[in-house]
Amino acid sequence: MKTILSLFILFSINLYSNYSAMAQDDIRSKKLKEQHVVPKVVKLAEEWKKELSPMQCEVTRNKGTERPFTGQYFDFYEKGNYHCANCGALLFSSESKFKSGCGWPSFNDVVNLKSINIVTDKSLGMVRTEITCANCEAHLGHVFEDGPPPSGLRYCINSVSLKFVPKQEQTGKP
């Protein structure tokens, strides 16, 4: 009897876990359908070099990374939005930013799922999930499945790939 009860409990937990995961996927797919497509920005490497700092160019165009705990936005929590430093596309909101302790700015969601590309990154002998700007293909960072609810994701983003716009500037209020 205990074996049957244990099996029933395990089955129930597994069923709930699968249902929860399907519900998360359903929420993400609905959110994706509701969002608009971001137009592409295409420039030559020489054009990017003229517009970006050497560090921005290294990180966003050459898929580099800034050292942990050194970026401008790593320990920064003002209200506003984070845009792509290369093209200005809206990427993240301060509402989804959290302190992860990883050394880079971390977010648990993007403002618009169509504003990013998700790419398999097999560099450095690892398999990771790279995030690039869908608008200009700038390397932003990586996403991991160890973030807080509700998404369970941690978008680990280089500060130099972001431009912060404070809440006041967005609303036009002083």
Question: Quick one: which of 75, 112, 107, 117 has its CA closest to 91?
Answer: 112
Closest by CA position to 169, among listed 95, 78, 45, 52? 78
Catalytic machinery residues: 156
* Tokens linked to 52: 């970006």
For 53-83, the pLDDT digits (tens) are 999 999 999 999 999 999 999 999 999 999 9
Give the pLDDT of residue 168.
Answer: 79
Contact 117, 134 (CB under 8 A): yes
Query: Is 92 within 8 Å of 147 (Cβ atoms)?
Result: no
Q: What's the token pair of residue 70?
A: 């050194």
Max Cα distance, the chain (Å): 73
Report residues of the chain scoring pLDDT below 70.
1-39, 169-174
Q: Determine the Cα–Cα distance for residues 31 and 28; give it in Å rounded to an integer.
A: 5
pLDDT at 25: 54
What pLDDT is attached to residue 37? Answer: 52
Using CB atoms within 10 Å of the CB of residue 47, give its burial: 0 to 12 exposed, 13 to 18 middle, 19+ buried. Answer: exposed
Q: Estimate to the nearest angstrom the gap between the alpha carbon of 38 and the chain centroid.
A: 16
Report whether 84 contacts 39 (CB < 8 A): no
pLDDT at 75: 93
**How many other C-beta atoms are found inside a 10 Å radius of the C-beta of residue 23?**
10
CA neighbor of 56 nearest in space, from 72, 78, 41:
72
Q: Any idea what the Cα angle at residue 170 is, between residues 97 and 115, rounded to 5°?
A: 55
**Total-model pTM:** 0.74
